[in-house]
Amino acid sequence: MKKLTAGVWITCVAAVLAIAALCVYGVNIGGEGYYKDAAVNNFTLVVCGAVLCLAAAIALYQFKGGKVVEIVTGVLRVAACALIAFGLMNLIAGRVDGLGYIYFSNADVAKEVQTAANLASAQTAIWSMALLGTAMLAAVIAAFFSLRKKDA
């Protein structure tokens, strides 16, 4: 096995964070509370596509294909960044109204809305957004690093 570069490690971290965000999202829509069964359109598909792009880029770096492999891995890594950003925007758009309703209702409504289940549901939505945002940041940073060690 080749010695791994910083680009490979950061790309792996981005993929793991995106998978973690997807798992927390699954808990969010599967658990009790405000967001039970409130799936965001195409979110799972987009995040899985981003993880596949990152995994394909890491797998392709193993092959010696010269400039073609470098271009393809670069395109895959940029596509993964775009897909993660798109998924994050969709998740925020799908959750912001509920978060506002749960956390910023007037005092009379807040007593009924701020139940333990709703607050836990809102918290998992925020965690999913934070994990996906961190994955996006890691994927952007990883795109600036090479996957291949420079020959001396």
Evaluate whether residue 118 is within a structural domain: yes
> Number of folded domains in the chain?
1
Chain segment 45-84, per-residue pLDDT in tens: 999 999 999 999 989 888 777 788 888 888 999 999 999 9
Q: How many residues does the chain have?
A: 152
Evaluate whether residue 150 is within a structural domain: no
Structural domain that includes position 95: 6-33+41-142
Evaluate whether residue 149 is within a structural domain: no
Look at residue 108 and tell me whether its pLDDT is greater than 90. Answer: no
Task: Note the pLDDT of residue 66.
Answer: 78
Task: Note the pLDDT of residue 152.
Answer: 45
Evaluate whether residue 92 is within a structural domain: yes
CA distance 118 to 31: 10
Evaluate whether residue 151 is within a structural domain: no
What average pLDDT score do residues 2-30 get?
A: 91
Look at residue 125 and tell me whether its pLDDT is greater than 60. Answer: yes
CA distance 51 to 84: 9
